[in-house]
Structure 1
Amino acid sequence: MKNWSIYIKDYKSYLKIERGLSDNSITNYLFDINRLVKYMDDNSIDVSPVYINEETIQQFIYHVATELNPRSRARLISGLKSFFSYIVFENYRKDNPLELIEVPKIGRKLPDTLSTAEIDALISAINLASNEGERNRAMLETLYSCGLRVSELIGLKISDLFFEEGFIKVTGKGNKQRFVPIDDLTQKYITIYKDGVRTFQNIQKGHEDTLFLNRRGKGLTRAMIFTIIKDLAKRIELNKIISPHTFRHSFATHLLENGADLRSIQLMLGHESITTTEIYMHLDRKFLRNIINTYHPRR
């Protein structure tokens, strides 16, 4: 293919250095670009990103549309549009060939949540007789009470704990850092694990500061957190499909229901835009009615 690898390499550097995106986010951005390149290769279309036209890209989108749901198609178009916006920005071409291609309307998917009783039941189902039990209790309490993403949880360091001040330092998307309040109970469970279990492990080189470790003394993976949560859900016969992110959604929803303002929730969750946080306003109609009844000037 004509120079695609050069443009993709430059775009990757732009995403990493100027946008500050994580490796995982960059991989997602590049996946659909490489998919377009493979389609062109399979169909003997030999044209560079500078000269590819809207018709060729539209044919590619039609080609993959049958395999994708509307949300995935929207992500595909958005990702390609971002790439060609970069090409325009660097003055390699004057127009974005996706400018007139419509993104499917997908609506806004409301996140699943757990009740406080369900969260208590999941945590109570942890077997504290094992060393992993103390770790898992500390992890799930932290996941929920601090509203962390799973990547933020497994990346948490001992040096990120500022218990005297009542905060932990969290490294979120794009390596952006924020301080999140941590309650006394969660501090207690972390301390029990850290001082009573972790300190006796054979910790592998490079993981001396990693807070939550596996049996081999290394950091945990995202998949391990998913497995722990799914096993607990089975144990209590919870009839919901849940993931680590469900704890984060529940944290935000419960804060909102108890009267926290959206700006505070945005800061704690590390959302770049308030519109991302606003999704929680759709979760509890009863809560919204109470707000109107309490604060409306003509109540």
Structure 2
Amino acid sequence: MKNNWHTYIKNFQSYLKIERGLSKNSIDNYVLDIEKLVNYLSDNTIDVSPIKIDDETIQQFIYEISKSVNPRSQARTISGLKSFFNYLIFEDYRPDNPLELIETPRLGRKLPDTLNIEDIDRLIAVINLSTNEGERNRAMLETLYACGLRVSELVSLKISDLFFDEGFIKITGKGNKQRFVPISEHTQRYIEIYKNFNRNSLPIQKGHEDTLFLNRRGRQLTRAMIFTIIKNLALEIGLNKIISPHTFRHSFATHLLENGADLRSIQLMLGHESITTTEIYMHVDRKHLSQVMQTFHPRSK
């Protein structure tokens, strides 16, 4: 039965990559959603193809997963499956979407965790700079925070993406969309120290000559490795928060907003498609809104 789905999933992957220009991580997440359904069908000996599956079967599947996953994960799975069946309609494999009438669970917006500047300074200060990895880790964390990058953007950053004379770095974000992000001289200095001294002592592997941040074997770092580095630093300073590379991105946006940056500029630097995604950071400091009103509205004078 799984083979019945395999071809359609394979074609969907090609569509997401070629037509939609999605990254490998995004495509993998879509496939994961579909495989949850395939496994459910297999476990319950329901032999039905993606062309013939009906809304009742899907409804039962959603009901089953709702027992074991939180509403956010449930909503993600429903969204992923909707995209898959919309693709099948687009390719004329089936006339309708069996998830059309299935409601996504209501979600409260999850407010992102942030670090204050003191926490960020403490995390960076505890890095052991007597090692090659130490200089690399300092440069990476400074770049994450100073430029508000996603972890995938950090690990894929190239030396040819550094335009230090102009004060920018070129980032390739979701859907291979490119943007230029300003980078301070402070952060440039840490990257230069790592690049010119520590990186040069590595056995750089073929195909990784232009990759900026390398592991000790001279290859591109994995996303998981960045998570581990940050988690270990947090443990070392006794930080009582669960943090990830994304925490630095949230902190970047939050601190810009608190210091008076406008939302549109933050949106451009983060590479958000829609400003509503950026608006999630507005929770952080309502005082900021009052200050804007007091400063700029004629009736406040």
Structure 2 length normalisation: TM-score? 0.95
Q: Distance in 2 between matches of 1:42 and 1:196?
A: 55
Q: In the alignment, what sits opposite 1:204?
A: 205
**Aligned residue for 1:78?**
79
Query: What SS class does the counterpart of residue 197 from structure 1 fall into?
Result: helix
Which residue in the other structure is 1:256 paired with? 257
Letter of the aligned partner of 1:155 in structure 2? S
Q: Find the aligned partners of 1:42 and 1:33 in 2 and give their Cα distance.
A: 14
Amino acid of the residue matched to residue 51 of structure 1?
K
1:190 Cα offset (Å) = 0.6
Structure-1 separation of matches of 2:221 and 2:6: 33
Q: What displacement does 1:4 show?
A: 2.2
Q: Indicate the SS of the match to 2:171.
A: strand
Letter in 2 for 1:179: F
Displacement, 1:44?
2.8
Distance (Å, rounded) in 2 between the aligned partners of 1:46 and 1:227: 41
Over the residues paired in the alignment, what is the CA RMSD in angstroms? 1.4
Which residue in the other structure is 1:236 paired with?
237
SS at match of 1:94: coil
Partner of residue 289, structure 2: 288
The corresponding residue for 2:19 is: 18
Structure 2 counterpart of 1:144: 145
Matched to 2:66, the amino acid is: A
Shift of 1:146: 0.6
Which residue matches 1:245? 246
Farther off after superposition, 169-178 or 183-192: 169-178
Unaligned runs of 5+ in 2: none
- Aligned amino acid, residue 185 of structure 2: D
Aligned to 2:156: 155
CA distance in 1, matches of 2:61, 2:6: 19
Deviation at 1:59, TM superposition (A): 0.8
Deviation at 1:279, TM superposition (A): 0.5
2:291 is aligned with what amino acid?
A: N
What are structure 1's unaligned runs of at least 5 residues?
none
SS of equivalent residue, structure 2 residue 298: coil
2:179 is the counterpart of 1:178? yes
SS in structure 2 at match of 1:215: coil
Question: How many residue pairs align between the two structures?
Answer: 299
| 1:79 Cα offset (Å) | 0.9
Displacement after TM superposition at 1:41 (Å):
2.5
Q: Matched residues in 1 for 2:71 and 2:235: separation?
A: 31
Amino acid across the alignment from 2:109 = R
One-letter amino acid matched to 1:263 = R
Cα distance, 1:96 vs. partner?
A: 1.3
Aligned-partner residue type, residue 42 of structure 1? D
Task: Provide the rounded CA distance (Å) in 2 between the counterparts of 1:252 and 1:25.
Answer: 23
- The residue correspondences of 1:214-229 to structure 2 (distance < 5 A) are 214-229=215-230
Which whole-Å CA distance do the structure 1 matches of 2:291 and 2:39 have between them? 54
Determine the C-alpha separation between the residues in 1 that align with 2:47 and 2:126.
58
Letter in 2 for 1:138: A
Q: Distance in 1 between matches of 2:270 and 2:56?
A: 41
CA distance in 1, matches of 2:188, 2:158: 14
Distance in 2, matches of 1:58 and 1:163, equals 54
How far off is 1:297 after superposition? Answer: 3.2
| Cα separation, 2, equivalents of 1:204 and 1:253 | 38
1:110-140 Cα deviation digits (max 9, x unpaired): 1000111111111111121222211111111
SS of 2:190's equivalent?
Answer: helix
CA distance in 1, matches of 2:97, 2:298: 48
What is the match of residue 280 of structure 2? 279
What are the residue-to-residue correspondences of 1:90-101 with 2, within 5 Å? 90-101=91-102
Structure 1 Cα separation of the partners of residues 122 and 289 of structure 2: 28
Q: Counterparts in 2 of 1:25-104, with a 5 A limit?
A: 25-104=26-105
Distance change in 2, residues 1:291/1:209 (3 Å): same
